[in-house]
Structure 1
Amino acid sequence: MSQIALPLDLRAGSDPERIVIGNANLAVYEALSDPSRWPFHTAVLTGPPRSGKSLLGKWAQGQGVTVIDGADSRPEDTLFHRWNAAQESGEPLLLISDAQPWEIALPDLRSRLGGSLQLEIGTPDDEMVAQLIESLALQHGLALGEGATSYLVPRVERSFAGIEKLVATIDRLSLERKAPPTMSIWRDALDQVQGPEQARLL
């Protein structure tokens, strides 16, 4: 597992945004790295909230891919024209959808996107969860302390949004208490995010 620094526009003095590449999104990253293999020059990317779909889209855009984020909320006739344009130009088109599944009413669009490359971000495994916790802590400027991932990984909800909320809660509690985040803060953050019973299951 690794992390890639995505070439995003950032404010002066800020750290680059990073996305963890692991079991849940490795196949997606590899497919986005080689759009020449996409059927009909088009790929459709879906995944759970906060899973990095937009970050991957921005990275792909930097590689010359035309990206439409939030495609499921765009007019379907507009998407149909963009699909046709991709066929004429040969330039790759990536559509990012928040809806799972994405219900498409326009038959012509539905059939064409059905033949395009379907990409989906899955559920992170323990190794990726640990990397996500460490990466998010780094973004917060938060030193979690020794043993943090060993304690948190078995207990945190297996979702990108849940992991993000946990790290943000640890950061908030540490600032409120003016104390480094040790086990008492890890435990209280889990209690607040998931409830005490769920947090202590393991």
Structure 2
Amino acid sequence: MMAQQLSFDLPAHTALGREDFFVSPANSQAVAAISAPHWPGNKLVLSGPAGSGKTHLAHVWAAQTGGRIVAATALTPEAVPTLAQGPVAIEDVPEIAGDAQAQDALFHLHNLALAEGRALLLTGRGAPRFWGLTLPDLTSRIEGANHAALSAPDDALLGAVLAKLFDDRQLSPGPEVITYLVRRLERSFDAAARAVARLDRAALAERRGITRSLAAAVVEGMAPAPEQRHD
């Protein structure tokens, strides 16, 4: 009972600086695109699976340019004139696939920002043609933008992401834990985030450190066995 009472689900502090982003072949193209001083047409689409680093890179870009970051679902027609006065990143664009008003606002922001010579960054999962947007003029403009994709992580990147997720929660497991998780987890950032959250909760509940044996107990059933992933 005491262990249960001491188990608090505290929020993790997420570090979003450039120095916190690990570059590997899985994301080097996107990092180079974000770091470029100018984009063709002054716009860039950044895509990738959940947890792949889109938000992190958007924050890096915003820090470099003084840009603002707005969730697509929070975009309103009234905000467009102000947002168009500076660099702006609109995150998770596919989330407004069923929102005609938000799509219309994004269309006007796109046109006004580019007319003002401001950079526009758009993020979402998968290639833009799969975003499900229903406003044809907006769809054609987004699909015509320069596109940088974040890929599924390789071993080095997955290990670095796991280390960062643990560090964000002020946890310091041994390297053998990271190695075990890299070999056992599904090759995705979402799986890494879920595993770290589960391990954090389990360690708090059991009042113990994060060891390889705890990792084995927690992630069992989360991912295919190594022989299924390493063929």
Query: TM-score, normalized by length of structure 1?
Result: 0.81
Return 5+ residue gaps in structure 2 as ranges. Answer: 1-12, 66-86
Aligned AA (1:188): A
SS state of the match for residue 63, structure 1? helix
Asked if 1:66 is matched to 2:83, the reply is no
Alignment of 1:182-197 (within 5 A): 182-191=211-220, 193-194=222-223
Match of 1:134 in 2: 163
1:165–1:15 distance in 2 versus 1, CA, 3 Å: closer
Q: How does 1:1-202 map to 2 (within 5 A)?
A: 16-17=15-16, 18-36=20-38, 38-64=39-65, 65-72=87-94, 73=96, 75-98=102-125, 101-191=130-220, 193-194=222-223, 198-199=224-225, 201=227
Q: Is there any run of 5+ residues in structure 1 with no aligned partner, and where?
A: 1-13
Conserved? CA contact 2:93–2:131, under 8 Å = no
Verify the 8 A CA contact 2:162 2:196 in the aligned structure 1. Answer: yes
Structure 1 distance, partners of 2:27, 2:151, is 7
- Give 3-state SS (helix, strand or coil) of 1:153's partner: helix
Inter-partner Cα distance in structure 1 for 2:61 and 2:169:
25
Deviation at 1:62? Answer: 2.0
Aligned sequence identity (%): 31
When residues 146 and 127 of structure 1 are mapped into structure 2, their CA distance, relative to the original with a 3 A threshold, is closer
**Deviations for 1:139-195, whole angstroms, at most 9, x for unmatched residues?**
12212124222222111111111011111222222222222222210100111534x
TM-score by length of 2: 0.71
Aligned residues: CA RMSD: 2.2
Q: CA distance change for structure 1 residues 94 and 178 in 2, over 3 Å: closer, same or farther?
A: same
Query: Which structure exhibits the higher relative contact order, with contacts defined as CA atoms closer than 8 Å and separated by 6 or more residues?
Result: 2
Deviations 1:90-110 (A, max 9, x none): 211011224652123222222
The 3 A distance-change label for structure 1 pair 146 and 52 is: closer
Q: Secondary structure at the match of 1:118?
A: strand
